[in-house]
């Protein structure tokens, strides 16, 4: 009790001073228009700043969802562009039955959006882990793409996760073609630079220019035709000198890969229509 009395004696004048200050400020801002408007303006400024910070924080936490929506939209638009391109080709020249069939099949491709949760680019045999699995309709040998082009092939599937064998793996072999010439070959990664791959066995009589687009050939049960792969950076001679080797600048930046989509191309084509040309050359051990 004595301690409380001592504390009141020591600090009582400060308590009285603060109460009088608060009372005077309330009276000042309540009964004076100018001072009240100044207080109201400053309070609104502080409140607006806090709300702006809150809005920015909420928007930042939703970036993942926005990226997934943009990825899916890009994939839809890319498929529609491919369909229109093939239909235009039908009017410009006599298309074969295979071309017409492939153009129609693109409209039925199912896409399953997924997020990359683990990725490597510096190993000889790189792998990607995504947050979708068999419970989401994913199974082995399904193609994986992103908004900028091809990513790889599903290699192992769990219930809620799957492992993807990307282009950046020595066992990956993707059937690709030059967009303007229709010459095709198998794209493989030579290690090292994650933005570069190579296509072998392009004949010498093919007229190839730097900057030509490279896309999936469609000779596969994994990828439909027309998925963007990259552009020709250099035209080289093969080791035996009998054909060209093309250096391809990949359109997909695997170092920044985040949102992808698994495509169910197999369900869109008859079982007998294509044998898988895009492949894993041998069964690797699990990463």
Tell me: do 194 and 263 sit in the same domain: yes
Report residue 68 as tokens. 């997934």
Cα separations in angstroms, 214 against 44, 122, 169, 197: 57, 24, 19, 11
Residues contacting 262, CB < 8 A, separation 6+ = 111, 112, 114, 130, 132, 138, 142, 143, 144, 154, 162
256: closest CA among 75, 128, 107, 88?
128
Give 10-residue mean pLDDT values along the chain (287 residues): 69 75 70 56 56 66 73 73 63 44 52 89 91 90 87 91 93 87 86 90 84 85 84 85 87 89 70 50 42
Residue 184 buriedness (CB in 10 A; 0-12 / 13-18 / 19+)? buried
Residues 109, 88, 263: CA angle, nearest 5 degrees: 15
Tell me: do 102 and 136 sit in the same domain: yes
Per-residue pLDDT at 103: 42
Tell me: do 48 and 127 sit in the same domain: no
Tell me: do 26 and 147 sit in the same domain: no
Report residue 11 as tokens. 């600090």
Q: Contact 287/243 with Cβ under 8 angstroms?
A: no
Q: 171 lies in a domain?
A: yes
Q: 116 lies in a domain?
A: yes
Per-residue pLDDT at 240: 75
Q: What are residue 114's DSSP bridge partners? A: 260
Q: 220 lies in a domain?
A: yes
Q: 47 lies in a domain?
A: yes
Total tally of structural domains belonging to the chain = 2
Per-residue pLDDT at 201: 83
Give CB contacts under 8 A, 24+ apart, made by 73-79.
74/147, 74/148, 75/111, 75/145, 75/147, 75/261, 76/111, 78/147, 78/226, 78/227, 78/228, 79/106, 79/107, 79/109, 79/224
* CATH at 126: 2.40.10.350
Q: Contact 150/252 with Cβ under 8 angstroms?
A: yes
State the distance between the two ends of the chain, measured CA to CA, in whole angstroms: 72
Per-residue pLDDT at 273: 45
Q: 285 lies in a domain?
A: no
Tell me: do 172 and 268 sit in the same domain: yes
Per-residue pLDDT at 17: 73
Bridge-based pairing of strands 162-166 and 172-178 is unpaired
Tell me: do 112 and 174 sit in the same domain: yes
Report residue 123 as tokens. 């190993």
Of 61, 90, 106, the last residue of a domain is: 61
Q: Give the structural domain span for 241.
A: 63-280
């Amino acid at each position: 009790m004595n301690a409380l009395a001592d504390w009141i004696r020591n600090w009582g004048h400060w308590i009285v001073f603060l109460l009088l200050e608060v009372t005077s400020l309330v009276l000042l801002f309540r009964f004076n228009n100018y001072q009240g408007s100044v207080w109201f303006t400053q309070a609104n400024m502080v409140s607006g700043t806090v709300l702006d910070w809150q809005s920015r924080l909420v928007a930042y936490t939703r970036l993942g969802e926005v990226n997934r929506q943009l990825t899916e939209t890009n994939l839809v638009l890319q498929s529609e562009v491919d369909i229109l391109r093939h239909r235009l080709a039908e009017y410009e020249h006599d298309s074969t039955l295979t071309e017409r069939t492939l153009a129609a099949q693109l409209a039925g491709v199912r896409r399953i959006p997924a997020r990359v949760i683990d990725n490597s680019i510096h190993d000889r045999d790189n792998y990607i882990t995504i947050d979708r699995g068999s419970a989401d309709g994913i199974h082995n040998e399904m193609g994986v793409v992103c908004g900028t082009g091809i990513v790889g092939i599903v290699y192992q599937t769990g219930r809620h996760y799957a492992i993807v064998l990307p282009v950046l793996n020595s066992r990956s072999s993707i059937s690709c073609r030059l967009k303007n010439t229709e010459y095709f070959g198998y794209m493989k990664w030579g290690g090292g630079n994650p933005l570069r791959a190579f296509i072998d066995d392009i004949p010498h009589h093919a007229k190839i220019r730097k900057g030509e687009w490279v896309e999936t050939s469609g000779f596969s049960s994994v990828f439909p035709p027309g998925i963007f792969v990259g552009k020709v950076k250099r035209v080289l001679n093969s080791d035996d000198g009998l054909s060209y080797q093309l250096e391809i600048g990949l359109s997909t930046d695997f170092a920044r890969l985040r949102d992808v989509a698994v495509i169910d191309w197999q369900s869109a084509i008859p079982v007998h229509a294509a044998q898988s040309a895009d492949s894993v050359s041998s069964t690797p051990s699990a990463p």
